Structure 1
Amino acid sequence: MRRRWPLHPPPRDDEALSSWVTRLAELYRMEVEELLRHDLAPPGTDPPLRKRGALDLDPPAAVLLALAERTGVPLGDVHRLTIAGQVPWLLDTLDPEPEPGAAFDTYVHQDSVLLTTKERRRQRVPGWRAWVPTAEPLRRACPLCMAAAPVFTLVSQLPLTLSCPKHGCTLVPTIGAAGTFLAWQEANTQATAAPEAVIAMDRRTQQGLRTGTVTVPRRSVHVGVWFRLLRTLIDELSTPVSTLRTRSRRTLQYIWRTTGQPVRAGLVGRWCSYEALPWNQQQMFLEAAATALHLVQAGEVAAHGTLAPLLTPEPHRPVPDGTPPAPAPRDYWKEARDAMNGSIALAQDDPAAGRQLLTILTSMTRSEASFQRTREDLIALGIPGKHLPSTLAEVRARETQTGRKTAVTFDRRSPFA
């Protein structure tokens, strides 16, 4: 068990591991390499090289454990200061691919945003890692944040955001080693407000990194869905417009024109993955992605991908106020017709029902002619003649034998009962 350092300020919100270790080393007037070699790395091993961004990517577990013991910060919190600590949300894994190109295909081509699935062109990118630059890690910072306290966030080292979520100003490239600030790349650098669409996109990314969920117009989604939606959108924006249908081609051209950048950020010739592009072109793609999200949400651009419904507001669905609907007026004539039709259907199969139906209909009849007309009408409706009494006298004789009134001889199966 290592002893606790006397001075061990905790990491700040969203700070990168290299930035935190740099601040710790400065407290003891040491270089980061010295601190790593003499007090954090296991004896006989070389510390991770700062120039390769190893501290922010996937440092040795022994270094993370030593930092946790020296500072009292939980090991899980220390691990989250690295890109490896964001697996599997920011990227699926840092392990080797099961087969070349599988990581890119799974991450980028599983869904779609602007384009239909049939319009997506599948690419194979062996050894690909989502959002991790192929070259050196980015060195960007917010001028206002650096004026208050020189701290680098983990996300500012990746081509994932363009603005500071706290101040809303554009992140500016800096000069310095990992976790250190020497100067701005351009002289007379000042804070510049980022476009509103960019700020909205970056704040969602920040929300996802801090809370694990991102609020989109339709609902809240897991941060892993957000990162894959954003990376898929960037890949669609890099599609050669000549390969698209007229509708999709016009959509992409309109997005790039609204962004104020050339189509595909000026890419011509051979396709190249976003992570391998220089920063100036990555910046154009992020601006175009923010513009596309804004246009889809505003209804100015129609998206046709599997994730497109997440980007549009939920349609208005009126909800009743709880008042029960007024009952429909009762149709007595319809009830009578339905009862008669039911009695006729029953009489077609049941002789007793047939006799009872004819008896009811002729209960007030006094002439044989009227009785026969009623009987013939029932036969015309499909009731067999053998189910009906032959004469009025037969009906009267049956009443005399039973000793009951016609009105009380209803069968339970009759709708009139």
Structure 2
Amino acid sequence: MTMAAYVPYLVDSLSPRGDIFPAYCCQFGIFENPALRVRPARAASWLPWISGDLADGKMIGCIECLRSDRQRFGRLHWRASWMASCPKHGVLLQAASPAEQSEYPVSRETATELAAIDELTLQAVTKGRVQLPDGRIVHGGLWLRVLRGVIDEICRPRCMKDVARPIIEAAWEAAGLPYRHALGRWGIYEKLGRLERANVLKVAALAIRPLIRAGFQHLKASTRPLAAEASRAVSSAVLVRDFQLMPIEIENITMLARENDDVAIDLRRMLNHQPRSARFVAQTDETLKSLGIPVLAPLLVARTPDLADGPY
């Protein structure tokens, strides 16, 4: 049995690779340029959405669904980590074996926002598409990758200081949960326990609401996959120092700037932060043009004299 939208769009490989994590989890975002948070996964066994929590060998599922089945059976999507509740019954998924009805635990009601996002995810994996509240249709594979990207964004280390942090902290606060950043630099969502994943999904549900209301119009996306050379570089650099991944991140930013005017403008302004002279700006612009990046928007240059014998 396969699930709609899961094969072949989502499964980049049936065997773990070092480059599959950034390709899958850092392709989309809602708070920042997704290319800026590309990071490898240290867990060599990581595959998209496969949960490491098997609940002591028991099936994870909806107690109410199992009780209402004429012939009890487990649903395939229960075994993955993309859902934490049953949208039909509004209860959390729990550990239970289809053959042990007498040992079923008491059902636990889930939060409304968690059930709502799980309803959209259920559409993605069973129908291959998601119908947003405004009637728009998005591909199921796109929905799952966006959701996984949002999860990666909201679980970053709290020591990271950027413009997105207040928004992320507000989402955790709105969910009534402390901003514990769950994962840290190298942590992976799929390695969390069931209840921890449910908390993360609850925060993700609140964080992704504005994007859903806007019909995915403000989605930040990298429109090109990592180049083959970049993918191999990520794979070989998984366990080495972070600065060795800089060429990969620079390449991703370059590709985005070529195709997105807003990114091109931001990159040019960053490179010309407090420029020494108009000559410096001209040389920077020449470099951007040589990379195929459009030079847009005027810059204010401080009135400093050009140094004839200086490097700039």
Bucket of the pairwise TM-score, normalised by the shorter protein: 0.5 to 0.7
Spell out the pairing of 1:266-285 with structure 2 (5 A cutoff): 266-267=182-183, 271-285=186-200
Which residue, 24, 29, 38 being the options, matches 1:112? 29
Residues 190 and 280 (structure 1), Cα distance of their counterparts in 2 relative to 1, 3 Å cut? closer
Per-residue CA deviations over 1:197-235 (Å, capped at 9, x if unaligned) read: 212211111212222111235731111111111111111
Displacement after TM superposition at 1:142 (Å): 2.2
How do 1:320-359 and structure 2 match up within 5 A? none
* TM-score (norm: length of structure 1): 0.45
Structure 2 unaligned blocks of 5 or more: 223-312
> How many residues are treated as equivalent by the alignment?
214
Which one of 63, 81, 88 corresponds to residue 166 of structure 1?
Answer: 88
Change in Cα spacing, 1:199 to 1:244, as seen in structure 2 (3 Å) is same
The alpha-carbon deviation at position 157 of structure 1 amounts to 1.4
Q: 2:148 aligns with which of 207, 231, 242?
A: 231
Task: Tell me the distance in 1 between the aligned counterparts of 2:61 and 2:37.
Answer: 35
Matches within 5 A, 1:12-411: 79-80=1-2, 86-94=6-14, 96-97=15-16, 100-117=17-34, 119-125=36-42, 126-136=44-54, 139-149=59-69, 150-174=72-96, 176=97, 180-181=99-100, 186=105, 189-192=106-109, 194-216=110-132, 219-245=136-162, 247-264=163-180, 266-267=182-183, 271-297=186-212, 305-306=220-221
The aligned amino acid for 1:173 is A
The 3-state SS of whatever aligns with 1:221 is strand
> Which whole-Å CA distance do the structure 2 matches of 1:240 and 1:101 have between them?
21
CA distance in 1, matches of 2:40, 2:186: 9
- Deviation per residue, 1:123-162 (Å, 9 max, x gap): 2343320111235377322232222123321111121112
The gaps in structure 1 that reach 5 residues or longer are 1-78, 308-417
CA 1:122 to 1:234, structure 2 compared with 1: closer, same or farther past 3 Å? Answer: same
| Distance in 1 (alpha carbons) for counterparts of 2:108 and 2:195 | 18
| CA RMSD, Structure 1 to Structure 2 (Å) | 3.1
Q: Is the 8 A contact 1:140 1:171 kept in 2?
A: yes
What is the one-letter code of the residue matched to 1:101?
A: G
Residues of 1 paired with 2:67 and 2:130: CA distance? 29
Give yes or no for contact 2:84–2:118 (8 Å, CA) kept in 1. yes
Distance in 2 of aligned mates of 1:265 and 1:146: 34
Counterpart for residue 354 of structure 1: none
Cα deviation 1:322-357 (Å, max 9, x = unaligned): xxxxxxxxxxxxxxxxxxxxxxxxxxxxxxxxxxxx
Matches of 1:221 and 1:286, distance apart in 2: 20
TM-score normalised by length of structure 2: 0.59
- Flag the 1:113–1:234 CA change in 2: closer, same or farther, 3 A: same
Flag the 1:183–1:105 CA change in 2: closer, same or farther, 3 A: farther
Percent of residue pairs bearing the same amino acid type: 27
Contact 2:155–2:182 under 8 Å retained in 1: no
